[in-house]
Homo-oligomer: A and B are copies of this chain.
Amino acid sequence: MAFKTLSSKAAAALDKELMSTGAFSIDQLMELAGLSVSQVVYRVHPPNKGNRVLVACGPGNNGGDGLVAARHLRHYGYQPTIYYPKQSKNELYQRLAKQLEDLDVPFVDDFPTAINSTDHIVDAVFGFSFSGEVREPFPAVIRAMEETKLPVTSVDAPSSWNIETGPPESGLGSKFNPEFLISLTAPKPLVKHFKGRHFVGGRFVSPAIAKKYDFEIPEYQGIDQIVEVGPGGQRL
């Protein structure tokens, strides 16, 4: 049985629906999304394996998820460092950044240098709305993540991958293969090309919404906000 994925367009419509008729605020959804990301990092790379984690945040919602995840990781005992070169003027993102500053989490400007003093990387650069070209200053970030031997956890998509068709055929990002991926709400079509350990998070979708958007809610266990699935999204 082919498993169901959510196209970029469908994922955008789902988000919009959650925040209109679904009555969620973006603060709520981002809090739960970021919490899911932090639980994946804890699962695959607990702090006793090295508690330094570098979180690369893009300018949009994917970056916001990264900021929330970093806060939770700090509370779990990690030492996060944030790379967030295109800070949004959006009020929510500014608040998320302030919450990290209040926890003495450092923000750094130079990703390729920062990568030399971390144990784990969270790729929260681009999410399901990415298409087209990787704009400055992110090409160097993609390149560093492509070349590093450190484990990378990507949020919703390995950044630079096309949401529908996966890794670029050549050039920047074509050799970017993160070890870990967390799909938020539901896997996107690109997961067919993903070979690492794959999780689904975002335990807030109602059965009615899942039915409308034609995907299955995975079987979360206990109080977990995440569940591991096959690389392509298959039930394990």
Contact = CB atoms under 8 A, between A and B. Distances in A.
Interface stretch (A23-31, A53-61, A165-173): A23-31
A110 to B, nearest CB: 26
A195 to B, nearest CB: 26
Interface in A202-221: 203-204, 206-209, 220
Nearest to A24: B99
Interface size class of A (residues with CB under 8 A): 20 to 34
A209 to B, nearest CB: 8
Interface in A89-110: 92, 94-96, 98-99, 102-103
A contact patch SS: helix
16 contacts: A23-B94, A23-B95, A23-B98, A24-B99, A25-B95, A27-B27, A27-B28, A27-B31, A39-B223, A42-B223, A72-B223, A75-B203, A75-B204, A76-B220, A103-B206, A103-B207
